Amino acid sequence: MNAPAFDQEAFKLATRNQWEKSARGWNDHTPQIRAWLRTATDAMLDMAGIRPGSRVLDVAAGAGDQTLDIAGRVGPRGSVLAIDLSAAILEFAQANALRAGHRNVETRVADGERLRVEEAGFDAAVSRLGLMLFPDPLRGLREMRRALKPGGGVCTMVFSKPDANPCVAILMSTALKHAGLPPRDPYQPGGLLSLGKPGLIDELFRTAGFRDVATTRIDAPFGLPSTQAYLDFIRTSASPIQQILGKLDAAAAQAAWTEIEERLDAFRTASGWEGPNELLLTAGRR
């Protein structure tokens, strides 16, 4: 029997619904996420060529942690449009921007694969840990390219391959096992590791029409006080895992979390817990 065709629109609806629920958890973990992605985020903004006065598109902006960095960099003569599929998470982004005193941030609910923004209106575009969740990332990249002025820079951040992101791989495989689902190709579209296949994201950038395409690998270990702290982050904020475990009854879900915790305990250190992660920063130019 053939596998059923992948229904991209149904997948995106499920993604949006799940992020509506995880919005508060992701926002509450901003300090931990910020520390985890600090170096990689600075590099992403550099590689996109963001500077004072730039008009910047931030795709899959979430609660806006990187949006605020962009707003600070571009200053009052520049601006940033933060786009996300989830209205709930963008409300946090808007509130965070206002609280930080940034008046140059606008938010808009939109699908990154259908941006609904003006053609060639932006100097730079970024997407931090968003593009890999798109069922059709090539379409997302084409949209970002269309939004850029000629010569405008883009940079995306995604997870690299499974063996360099063992905790993400453990979470996915254990969740699928407990949900009674077969192991999944980690590079299947829309998954956390979907763009980690060596060479894949460069190829997508080139196919989308970007030039000067280059990918940089960055180590970004996630350091936390304990395994429990990582589990708390995952339980409240990691939508793709919830998308799998959310369908289980309470006892089955508890069994899954217990096994996940046991396996993640392998990353305990003398001072707490540290999960290795490797990220890909891919830059290009329209």
Ligand X SMILES: C[S@@+](CC[C@H](N)C(=O)[O-])C[C@H]1O[C@@H](n2cnc3c(N)ncnc32)[C@H](O)[C@@H]1O
Interface residues with ligand X (CB under 6 A) are 12, 15, 19, 33, 60-62, 65-66, 84-86, 89, 111-113, 128-130, 133-134
Strands, DSSP E only, in the chain?
A: 55-59, 79-84, 105-109, 122-128, 148-159, 211-219, 222-224, 268-269, 272-275, 278-285
Of 71 and 89, the one with the shorter C-beta distance to ligand X is: 89
- Which is nearer to ligand X, 109 or 259 (by Cβ)? 109
* Distance in angstroms (rounded) separating the CA atoms of residues 57 and 126: 6
Cβ-closest residue to ligand X? 62
How near is the Cβ of 93 to ligand X at its closest, in Å? 9
Q: Report in angstroms how near the CB of residue 59 gets to ligand X at its nearest.
A: 6
Helix then strand then coil, % of the chain, to nearest 5: 50, 20, 30
Select 54 or 66, whichever has its Cβ closest to ligand X. Answer: 66
Tokens of 3: 């596998």
> Given the complex with ligand X, which of 232 and 259 has the nearer CB atom?
232
Q: Specify the residue, 227 or 239, whose C-beta has the smaller distance to ligand X.
A: 239
Dump the DSSP string for 221-278: -EEES-HHHHHHHHHHH-HHHHHHHTTS-HHHHHHHHHHHHHHHGGGEETTEEEE--E
**Least distance from C-beta 164 to ligand X, angstroms?**
18
3-state secondary structure at position 211: strand
Rounded to the nearest whole angstrom, what is the least distance from the CB of residue 191 to ligand X in the complex?
Answer: 12
Nearer to ligand X, 110 or 259 (CB): 110
Confirm if 37 and 220 have CB atoms less than 8 A apart. Answer: yes
With 0-12 CB in 10 A as exposed, 13-18 as middle and 19+ as buried, what is 179? Answer: middle
Q: How far is the CB of 239 from ligand X (least distance, A)?
A: 7
* 240 vs 190: CA distance, rounded Å: 9
We find the least distance from the C-beta atom of residue 270 to ligand X, in angstroms, to be 29
* Closest to ligand X by CB, 94 or 259: 94
Give the contacts of 175 (CB within 8 A, at least 6 positions apart): 241, 244, 245, 256, 260
- Least separation in angstroms between CB 227 and ligand X: 21
Instruction: Find the radius of gyration of the CA atoms of the chain.
Output: 18
